[in-house]
Amino acid sequence: MTAVLNVSGVRKDFGDVPVLRGIDLQVSEGTVVALIGGSGSGKSTLLRCINLLEVVTDGVIRLDGEDITDPRVDADQVRRRIGVVFQSYNLFPHMSALRNVSLAPRVVGKLAKADAESRARELLARVGLADKANAYPDRLSGGQQQRTAIARALANDPRLLLLDEVTSALDPELVGEVLDLIKELKAQGMTIVMATHEMGFAREIADQVCFLDQGVVAESGPPEQVLGNPSSPRLRQFLSRVLRHE
Amino acid sequence: MSTQPSAAEGTVALSAVELDRRRYRRQRAWRSTAIAAVSTLVFAGVLLVAVTHAPGWEQVKSTYFSGSQFSDSFPRVLHGLWTNLRILAVAEAIILPVGLTVAALRTVKGAVFFPVRGILTVYVDVFRGIPLIVLLYLIGFGIPALGESWLPSSGITLGTVCLVLSYGAYHAEVFRAGILSVHPSQRAAARSLGLNHAQTMRLVVLPQAVRAVIPPLLNDFVSLQKDVGLVSILGVIDAVRAAQIDNYSTYNYTPYVVAALLFIVLAIPSARFADYMLARQIRRQQAGAVV
Ligand SMILES: Nc1ncnc2c1ncn2[C@@H]1O[C@H](COP(=O)(O)OP(=O)(O)OP(=O)(O)O)[C@@H](O)[C@H]1O
Ligand SMILES: [Mg+2]
């Protein structure tokens, strides 16, 4: 079985500052990979590269076996197969929750307005926001905004979901509702790559944890191994720093 | 829709401290109103005395503030203003889409669009640089001089063309600032959904950009209202020209005062509307508190 996502030897420089120096990563269908690492270690950059929001400096990224880093592929076409949820939600403030979610099915999926909206209502119901369809983002709590953003990311029926620290802008009491939703998505078989600072959650949900350090995947494996029995001093140091705040 | 729970004011008796605070605030508000009123009166009084005691006041009064001249010119100047309003409406209706299109096209990336971007940059630089009055002389007299029968020759048409060229460039810059003010994360979110550049622009960036620039656009609009008067140099009988005609035949300047008052009356609604939109925008931004 080919992996949904296969990242090999990916490098990314900003100017002459190397941020990613050769990332290798395999994500098989229905699994959850957690990216951990210090601030500035390149987690967001890697996710942006996978979604083609950044052009890689070198290396290859394959989605379902197709090389998406090939400049000949249609980037818009690739992005439709990948859902992204950002740390700061990035909902469209001038659209209701329903329009935020139905935008992609209408414009990209070419569904009729009524069909796109009924699909969006289904998705909003799935994230527990059936009653907020007509609310604008500034009337939603942080947790509700983030759940709307997740519904929006699911609207294209993506093969792969990228989550970039989706709970770190949330008040502690709102984190739970978003994490529960992600657990549900995993149970439904979604393939997920998520950057996170929630070690407890990574341990609970991830099939594989990757520690990004100095531009490479310094350590990776099942959570009990990487988080429970770290082999490198740098990872031990990182974990003791984050866990102290949990 | 969730509704904010309203504070149950009045059901609970206010404390003595709060009552005292309110008394103090009322007093302070009353005092500042009184001070403002007195200082305005004093200022106006001083100004009035100074002007009416100037050596040439009697002369000025009869040439600028003649009651009979005022009522005589008023209908003609008002009729001229109707021409201004028609030009204004047509011009703004063209300027808005021109400005928005120019601004949007200037953001399109890719080598194919290089010439388009280049031409539009030159357009904006040139027409923002030329004083409108010079443009009116060049186009308003230059085009008819070509003698081509298919080209427009009426002052109204050519004047409107000049206003569109000049203000199109101003509006384009205002719209471009609006486009740049939309946070890049909005674009990233739209692109990550698979929307292409044009769809992202049309559905996500421009609606937010336009909302953000309504106050500065209205400001430009007020300035356009006045600049429409410049088409009078092409012989169009607008409010300014109508006043000028009366002035030439009577040597009295009251018709210009009539025109000035009418232009002010025209500007006030736009100015108040701009204030209202700005206040609304600030309220929204504070309520929205986007991360
Ligand atoms: N567009 C850019 N131009 C230049 N440098 C950038 C750019 N984007 C990111 N960087 C740099 O790349 C490095 C990695 O950033 P990135 O956002 O990927 O880190 P991160 O692991 O997501 O950190 P955090 O946990 O704080 O979100 C940082 O040093 C950052 O300054
Ligand atoms: Mg990040």
For residues B134-146, give the mean pLDDT: 93
Task: Give me the total of CB pairs closer than 8 Å, taking one residue from chain A and one from chain B.
Answer: 72
Percent of the residues in chain B that have a pLDDT greater than 90, as a whole number: 71
Tell me the per-residue pLDDT of B50-74, one tens digit each, with 9 for 90 and over: 988 989 898 888 899 998 999 999 9
For residues A32-47, give the mean pLDDT: 95
Domain boundaries, chain B: 85-236
Residues of A in contact with B199 (CB under 8 A): 107
Residues of A in contact with B186 (CB under 8 A): 90, 92
The whole-angstrom distance between A138's CA and the closest CA on chain B is 5
CATH of B85-236, one of 1.10.3720.10, 1.10.10.10, 3.30.200.20, 2.30.110.10: 1.10.3720.10
C-alpha A42 to ligand 2 mean position (Å): 7
Predicted pLDDT at A246 = 60
B286 CB within 8 Å of a chain A CB: no
Q: Where are the alpha helices (DSSP H) in B16-113?
A: 16-52, 57-64, 67-106
Residue B289, pLDDT > 50, answer no
* Ligand at shortest distance from the CA of A35: 1
- Write down the ipTM of this complex: 0.91
| CA separation for the pair A145, B192 (Å, rounded) | 17
Domains of chain A: 1-73+164-246 (3.40.50.300), 82-157 (no CATH)
Residue B28, pLDDT > 80, answer yes
* Confidence class for position B287, pLDDT limits 50, 70, 90: low
Tell me the per-residue pLDDT of B83-128, one tens digit each, with 9 for 90 and over: 999 999 999 999 999 999 999 999 888 888 899 999 999 999 999 9
Residue A61: left (phi > 0), alpha (psi -120 to 50), or beta?
beta
Provide the token pair at B69: 């001249």
Residue B54: C-alpha distances to residues B40, B46, B59, B61, B275 (Å): 21, 12, 10, 11, 37
Mutation probe of ligand 1 site: the residue of A45, A56, A84, A167 with most atoms within 8 A of C-beta: A45
C-alpha A38 to ligand 1 mean position (Å): 11
Q: b/e string for B186-197 if b means 16 or more Cβ within 10 A?
A: bbbbbbbbbbbb
Average model confidence (pLDDT) for chain B?
Answer: 90
